[in-house]
């Protein structure tokens, strides 16, 4: 009996070493479910303001066999990725928003596994464990599951597509690479159907890949187009217009460059009323006509007030994107978000610099891809409009780098302890 007890710690340690990814997944899931328990609304059918009722409404229409519609009318305002995911959960478990929130927690745990796996591919299991554990406790991501938000699905899809693109660039040449490139392109397409910004990121990643492997880059883009094609065809049939992703060009252009609003502004947000005047389109417009009307209003304001519409808004848009927290968050939320965000930057940026200067091609490629995506994301949202959660894909990539910094720090500490003895 004593032998069994004494061997238990080593047995547990051996199990954790063999199944470390499963351990990270279960720990991350437990943390997210525990956070759900702190939100009373998470276990009810109550929907928060914003986009939650829209995703829920589309998913309910799909479950009822009414097609991709909202309030009985076909819609393309949002890409189908997340509403289809919600509809799948409703189909399996019934129309219960708490089931979606639990599914969001599973997606969040899977994101932590992806981060850990990518770090392990670069720097070994120890770095993977550290990156996965940091992602598990990274508060801005822990607080996502209680809300029906596209980030819950988009972040795992984005990290998977980005990591696969990096792997394709660094893997030895193989006959199967063309097939892999097509699959990775499809992954980018599915990510774009969840959040449209993934489409320019896919093009950017393909360009980065094409500098050295143009055939793989072209194949990847073909895979992306094939993944988008069914949805684009559906939109053409429904609206008699070319809408590759979502019917929002006019909406987004107006929200970015429309006449200024007069309501109080909130840090971390870019809203109708506060930043941009609430539009008043003519009644009876079709969705396509309404989007064109919004675009025309935005273009008219840009022409009459170019500095105010574009240049003077950049500092606020950057502040909204890069600030650690939303202005409406509670004090404890602001404190935890700020501490996690600053720690993320302190640990990831030095590791990114080391990777940039590394003699290992895999590390340099990582640094190139992260820098390219981060620079584009920041520039894009500085021009259009940014909010805190639009920065989260950058945070997800930086989490991979955290594993390198922590593993270096622990190795140095262990070495100093050994020398001290």
Model confidence pLDDT, tens digit, residues 291-308: 999 999 999 999 999 999
pLDDT band at 2 (very low <50, low <70, confident <90, very high): very low
Q: Report how far residue 2's alpha carbon sits from residue 354's, in angstroms, rounded to the nearest whole number.
A: 48
6 domain residue, yes or no: no
4 domain residue, yes or no: no
For residues 21-50, average pLDDT: 93
134 domain residue, yes or no: yes
Sign of CA dihedral 242, 247, 249, 250: positive
* pLDDT value of position 181: 96
- Residues 214-242 have pLDDT tens digits of 999 999 999 999 999 999 999 999 999 99
Q: Are 368 and 208 in contact (CB under 8 A)?
A: yes
Sign of CA dihedral 201, 205, 211, 214: negative
| pLDDT at position 211 over 50 | yes
| pLDDT at position 414 over 70 | yes
142 domain residue, yes or no: yes
* pLDDT value of position 5: 40
* pLDDT value of position 6: 44
pLDDT band at 264 (very low <50, low <70, confident <90, very high): very high
* pLDDT value of position 48: 84
| pLDDT at position 3 over 60 | no
Degrees, nearest 5: CA angle 170-216-173: 45
- Residues 117-137 have pLDDT tens digits of 999 999 999 999 999 999 999
Instruction: Supply 355's token pair.
Output: 């990777």
* pLDDT value of position 420: 63
Domain count of the fold of the chain: 1
Report the Cα–Cα distance between both ends of the chain, in Å, rounded.
35
- Choice between 114 and 213, residue whose per-residue pLDDT is larger: 114
7 domain residue, yes or no: no
Range of the domain at 113: 13-420
397 domain residue, yes or no: yes
Sign of CA dihedral 84, 90, 96, 99: negative
Global pTM reads 0.93
2 domain residue, yes or no: no
94 domain residue, yes or no: yes
């Amino acid at each position: 009996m004593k032998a069994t007890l004494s061997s238990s710690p080593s047995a547990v340690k051996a199990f954790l070493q063999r199944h470390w990814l499963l351990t990270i997944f279960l720990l991350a899931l437990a943390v997210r479910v525990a956070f759900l328990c702190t939100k009373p609304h998470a276990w009810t059918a109550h929907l928060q303001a914003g986009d939650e009722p829209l995703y829920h409404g589309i998913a309910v229409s799909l479950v009822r066999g009414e097609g991709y519609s909202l309030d009985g009318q076909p819609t393309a305002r949002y890409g189908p990725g997340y509403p289809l995911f919600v509809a799948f959960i409703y189909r399996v478990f019934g129309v219960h928003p708490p089931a979606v929130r639990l599914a969001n927690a599973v997606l969040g745990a899977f994101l932590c596994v992806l981060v850990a796996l990518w770090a392990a591919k670069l720097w070994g299991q120890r770095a993977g464990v550290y990156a996965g554990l940091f992602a598990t406790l990274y508060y801005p991501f822990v607080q996502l599951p209680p809300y029906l938000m596209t980030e819950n699905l988009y972040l795992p899809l984005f990290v998977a597509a980005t990591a696969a693109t990096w792997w394709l660039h660094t893997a030895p040449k193989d006959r199967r690479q063309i097939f892999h490139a097509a699959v990775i392109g499809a992954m980018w397409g599915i990510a774009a159907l969840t959040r449209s910004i993934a489409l320019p990121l896919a093009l950017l990643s393909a360009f980065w890949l094409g500098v050295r492997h143009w055939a793989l880059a072209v194949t990847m883009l073909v895979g992306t187009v094939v993944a988008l094609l069914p949805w684009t065809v559906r939109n053409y049939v429904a609206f008699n217009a070319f809408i590759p992703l979502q019917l929002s060009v006019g909406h987004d252009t107006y929200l970015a460059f429309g006449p200024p609003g007069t309501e109080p502004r909130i840090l971390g947000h870019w809203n109708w009323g506060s930043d941009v005047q609430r539009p008043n389109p003519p009644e009876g417009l079709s969705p396509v006509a309404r989007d064109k009307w919004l675009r025309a209003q935005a273009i008219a304001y840009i022409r009459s007030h170019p500095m105010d519409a574009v240049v003077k808004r950049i500092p606020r848009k950057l502040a909204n994107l890069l600030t650690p927290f939303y202005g409406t968050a509670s004090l404890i939320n602001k404190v935890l978000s700020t501490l996690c965000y600053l720690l993320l930057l302190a640990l990831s940026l030095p590791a990114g610099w080391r990777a940039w200067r590394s003699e290992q091609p895999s590390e340099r490629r990582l640094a190139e891809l992260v820098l390219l995506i981060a620079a584009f994301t920041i520039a894009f949202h500085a021009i259009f409009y940014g909010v805190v959660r639009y920065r989260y894909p950058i945070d997800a990539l930086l989490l991979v780098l955290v594993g390198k910094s922590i593993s270096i720090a622990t190795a140095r500490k262990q070495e100093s302890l050994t020398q001290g003895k």
